[in-house]
A and B are shown apart, each in its own frame.
Chain A
């Protein structure tokens, strides 16, 4: 279990972590979310005793990290993948870490097999790809068979296969009753991995709840409506206080030209009310589907005020949330979880 109480860290005039309190419980994967520069890495470094806080405390199983008698047997951490001497072999990197805890050489061989680096264990780590470095980092984290894992952006730079591997590993570790605390700025990755979320922005706590609750609470519910008579329906909905947007027309299999229907995205009214309005106006409906917002939307909406870099108000201001036509369309998930997204976000190590 990880506990942060009133944790505060300033770098000069800049407040990186601002009176942050949270608890990471064992037995589940806790996602640590925030835009770049929100203070995720700094918080993890404070928990691990690498950075010293100006205020507050961080404890692991009730002790400060530096007071742990055999830290690697209690906590495994992955901070940055490339934190390996380029001239040292993977085996020797893990060996010197193991020796500090009195762990046997056999354990080094075990974790090397576990992460699939057996064939390159004797090679200089400088020649490793980012994915291989990431696996070496995971091996170091698992070395002491710890009850608590702290992983900073573990899927960064991994190919889809590697992402799946990490995801399953984290779930398996949590299922064994371990505490798994994993940071990410990839919302959809967290949606499929994390059971619980801690969301921060500008060093402050924004949300601390289950993943489902986070989505339900944050993302505005919308209803997808297909009708061949969009103008009359839109007028009826607007009159009843709802908001209507024309969704991507091409998304309709037939398309209007083929005698199909237009897709509308409706917010502000429940699906049942829209059905009643359509019946009252004698408008034919082809489809009436409530949509649950994606984690990505929920996150954008919540952190819109606290984005460190970039333009405020884009893309999701509170009150007028970003509204893709089909939030849970595979394209969205694929973009965020795929290697392209990981590659396009090299600034993941926010500090």
Chain B
């Protein structure tokens, strides 16, 4: 800190000024994500929360099996993956929501966004690379967590509900859980890019994920069923079901497709605004 001497920039042998490629931007976004502690902590929390809640809920279910009532027992037998993965996913997804939002809103709150956009002035490659890197991380970790949850939960419930990956629709449901987390990360990232403020964006995503669902359940009749099923995360979570319930409007993959469409629409809106707004 004491170099008062006139400093001349060391001139490196300047490589030819070729256009920086998308691969460079991907590498840069990977460096950004791995170099802050909030990423590491959020991902650790994802694993701990999801596995912890899964173990807790399945253990309680197993211990209380004779007291939980016939309807609940039938429900778990009919849709074991939802019973095993549902609760853990419900909690674990919060970490992905917060991390996805923070990835972009923290750039705005700290001013790093200016540095990022000076380096990638066409802007869209920056957002696309951020989304790709984050989706890849959440997909890999999401699949690991979902498979681990399933194996642990299935082992705990085995005496009451024998279920394995070879049971109908089970592999799709477990793989779907990881896919759901990856798309949810992009969903949160898109809302973060649209809102640009951490608190507002997190509130917005939570409103979709936690508040809208019970509200829509209050709407009676087929209208209510449609609105409920087409809500982004409700639709998205259909993919972890083994069996469809009577009220459901969408199948598992249809639901996941609806969730992907929601996310794509939000991402496109975020990209357009990113290009048009002052940074």
Residues of A in contact with B (beta carbons under 8 Å apart) = 45, 48-52, 65-66, 68-75, 77, 79-80, 82-89, 92-93, 95-97, 99-102, 106-107, 110-111, 114-117, 119-120, 131-132, 135, 140, 142, 145, 161, 164-165, 168-169, 171-173, 176
Q: How far is the CA of A140 from the CA of B35 in the complex (A)?
A: 17
Query: Given A51-B278, A115-B7, A172-B7, are A86 and B110 also a contact pair (CB < 8 Å)?
Result: yes
Q: Is B171 an interface residue (CB 8 A)?
A: no
With beta carbons under 8 angstroms apart, the residue of A50, A102, A106 that contacts B278 is A50
Q: How far is the CA of A95 from the CA of B29 in the complex (A)?
A: 11
Q: How far is the CA of A82 from the CA of B19 in the complex (A)?
A: 28
Q: Tell me how far the C-beta of A155 lies from the nearest C-beta in chain B, rounded to whole angstroms.
A: 14
Q: How far is the CA of A75 from the CA of B121 in the complex (A)?
A: 12
* B3-23 interface (Cβ within 8 A of A): 3-12, 14-15, 17-21
Q: How far is the CA of A72 from the CA of B115 in the complex (A)?
A: 10
Q: Tell me how far the C-beta of B10 lies from the nearest C-beta in chain A, rounded to whole angstroms.
A: 5
Q: Is B218 an interface residue (CB 8 A)?
A: no
Q: Tell me how far the C-beta of B111 lies from the nearest C-beta in chain A, rounded to whole angstroms.
A: 3
The 7 closest A-B pairs by CB, nearest first: A83-B111, A168-B6, A92-B35, A116-B3, A99-B28, A66-B121, A100-B119
What's the A-B contact tally at a CB cutoff of 8 Å? 142
| A145 with B9: CB separation less than 8 A | yes
- 27 A-B residue contacts at CB 8 Å? A49-B121, A50-B114, A69-B17, A70-B17, A70-B19, A70-B20, A71-B119, A72-B119, A73-B14, A75-B118, A80-B111, A85-B107, A88-B35, A93-B112, A95-B35, A96-B29, A97-B119, A99-B24, A100-B25, A102-B20, A106-B12, A115-B3, A116-B2, A119-B1, A131-B1, A168-B7, A169-B6
In this complex, how many residues of chain B approach chain A with their Cβ under 8 Å: the count is: 46
With beta carbons under 8 angstroms apart, the residue of A77, A85, A86, A117 that contacts B1 is A117
| A83 with B115: CB separation less than 8 A | yes
| B118 with A85: CB separation less than 8 A | no
Query: Given A50-B279, A51-B278, A72-B119, are A110 and B31 also a contact pair (CB < 8 Å)?
Result: no
Q: Tell me how far the C-beta of B4 lies from the nearest C-beta in chain A, rounded to whole angstroms.
A: 5
Q: Is B27 an interface residue (CB 8 A)?
A: yes
